Amino acid sequence: MLKLYYKFNFATEPKYYNADEKINGKTMAEHLRFSVAYWHTFTEDLSDPFGVGTALRDWDSLDEMEKAKARVDAIFEFMDKTGIEYFCFHDVDIAPEGNTLEESNKNLDEIVELIKKKMNETGKKLLWNTTNNFTHERFVHGAATSSNADVFAYTAAKVKKSLEIAKTLGSENFVFWGGREGYESLLNTDMKLELDNLAKFFKMAIAYAEEIGYKGQFLIEPKPKEPTTHQYDTDVATSHAFLQKYDLDKHFKFNIEANHATLAGHSFQHELRYARDNQMLGSVDANQGHPQLGWDTDEFPTDFYDTTLAMYEILKNGGLAPGGLNFDAKPRRTSFKQEDLVLTHIAGMDAFALGLRVASKMIEDEFFEKIVEKKYSSFASGIGKQIVEGEVSFKELENHALNLTTIDNESDHLEVIKSEINQYILNINNQ
């Protein structure tokens, strides 16, 4: 058995997360549905564009297939020790690619069998799996939006295999993150053809899932840029319009990543709200960006203000199930020890547990609901109610406006709202 950490001292124990504690009738584990990302926690070497990998891992010296098997042992030990119930992976995270597609599929079969055995023994579950159609050089022009039809076909073969894996392992969701589905420049891009092809690709994926009886929830994970200059699944609103245009919206929900939201110039809460308001909130990639860096830093979530507002949206959504909170996050390059894998996850679990506690108290007090009800009270009666109910036209509205002697607006007192949120967070342990 691999030794994942050397001592489990006091500092590593969660302060706010308590899996079995009930909040509003559900345990914290049921509310939060934490998941480990195979790629960041078990294959990431912490290299950056200026320096080599610094991560020290017990499996570093093994050859590729042995390494893949060691990582299976490691992730199940990790889930056991951290109390995390779910995990997520890309096809290439769990098994090395072979020289041919056939060889890659054979490697996958061997590791999937091992994973299935471990899942049966431990009761741990697969939150979602996905396909890596961006790292290999064949995907230089994209995958389902590539200008090369052979690459489109190769991508289909890989997603077909991943759907079969999803079915075998009972994956609760299946994710499509855009990878290189986007463009470097419009000067040489047929955007319409690429988007039409992408829609055809999704229709084939839906048809194949139906054919094999895979019933997991399909999720799109929006991101505005990186690796391409313009990613087609820019944000929730853009991706929702795409899904509606091609009549695909009934088949998908969104997997919303905090750092992707901020890269798109939105807040994490904005993306969650947009999805929730459209019944499209499916799952979350729980991480955070760095306020001074303009790229996808995939940091572990520690900002409790953000996690509070995120948990508010998630609770108002009625939870995330069958989705969850997947830590699509990696330790900093300077946090290179194996024990950092545990420490970072506990920091993230605690930040979301704190957010859950605070958001749940705010909902109990109807904190935001009362503010919003007061702000929009003009639409609860009179002319406002008539507008909401679609009973008036420009003529009645003009008549109403002509009879107005004054227009009175109220102050938002936004700073008071923020200060009251601070009080909720600071007082959460005394309630």
Nearer to Co ion, 23 or 75 (CB): 75
Query: Considering only residues 71-100, where is the footprint of ligand XUL by CB under 6 A?
Result: 90
Least separation in angstroms between residue 257's CB and ligand XUL is: 5
Question: Which of the choices Co ion, ligand XUL, none does residue 130 contact, using the CB cut-off of 5 to 8 A by kind?
Answer: ligand XUL
Question: Which of the choices Co ion, ligand XUL, none does residue 67 contact, using the CB cut-off of 5 to 8 A by kind?
Answer: none
Query: With contact defined as beta carbons under 8 Å apart, do 223 and 231 qualify?
Result: yes
Nearer to ligand XUL, 181 or 296 (CB): 296
Residue type, 229: T
Least separation in angstroms between residue 255's CB and ligand XUL is: 7
Catalytically active residues, by annotation: 90, 93
Nearer to Co ion, 4 or 256 (CB): 256
Residue 257 is a binding residue for ligand XUL (CB under 6 A): yes
Residue 328 is a binding residue for Co ion (CB under 5 A): yes
Out of 91, 172, 235, 285, the residue judged to bind ligand XUL by CB under 6 A: 285
Question: Which of the choices ligand XUL, Co ion, none does residue 296 contact, using the CB cut-off of 5 to 8 A by kind?
Answer: ligand XUL
Report the alpha-carbon distance of residue 232 to residue 194 in Å, rounded: 10
Give me the 191-210 binding string for ligand XUL, x by CB under 6 A, dash otherwise. Answer: --------------------
Least separation in angstroms between residue 401's CB and Co ion is: 49
Report the alpha-carbon distance of residue 350 to residue 300 in Å, rounded: 11
Nearer to ligand XUL, 194 or 328 (CB): 328
H/E stretch holding 314 reads helix 304-316
Q: List, in order, residues 6 or more apart from 295 with CB less than 8 Å away.
A: 226, 263, 289
Out of 328, 349, 354, 359, the residue judged to bind ligand XUL by CB under 6 A: 328
Maximum Cα interatomic distance, the chain, rounded to a whole number of Å = 82
What is each CA distance from 331 to 53, 268, 278, in whole angstroms? 12, 20, 34
Residue 285 is a binding residue for Co ion (CB under 5 A): yes
Helices (H) and strands (E) in the chain — how many of each?
A: 16, 12
What is the Cα gyration radius of the chain? 24
What is the SS3 assignment for 87?
strand
Nearest by Cα to 198 from 220, 216, 217: 220
Give the end-to-end CA distance of the chain in Å, rounded to a whole number: 43
Which single residue brings its beta carbon nearest to ligand XUL? Answer: 177
Residue 296 is a binding residue for ligand XUL (CB under 6 A): yes
Question: Which of the choices ligand XUL, Co ion, none does residue 223 contact, using the CB cut-off of 5 to 8 A by kind?
Answer: ligand XUL
Least separation in angstroms between residue 408's CB and Co ion is: 46
Q: List, in order, residues 6 or more apart from 143 with CB less than 8 Å away.
A: 133, 134, 151, 152, 155, 179, 180, 181
| Sign of the torsion angle spanned by Cα atoms 21, 26, 29, 32 | negative
Least separation in angstroms between residue 46's CB and ligand XUL is: 15
Q: List, in order, residues 6 or more apart from 228 with CB less than 8 Å away.
A: 142, 180, 181, 182, 183, 184
Query: Considering only residues 119-158, where is the footprint of ligand XUL by CB under 6 A?
Result: 130
Least separation in angstroms between residue 111's CB and ligand XUL is: 18
Out of 257, 271, 296, 299, the residue judged to bind Co ion by CB under 5 A: 257
Least separation in angstroms between residue 43's CB and ligand XUL is: 11
Residue type, 142: G
Please report, as ranges, the residues that interact with ligand XUL according to CB under 6 A. 90, 130, 175, 177, 221, 223, 257, 285, 296, 328
Please report, as ranges, the residues that interact with Co ion according to CB under 5 A. 257, 285, 328
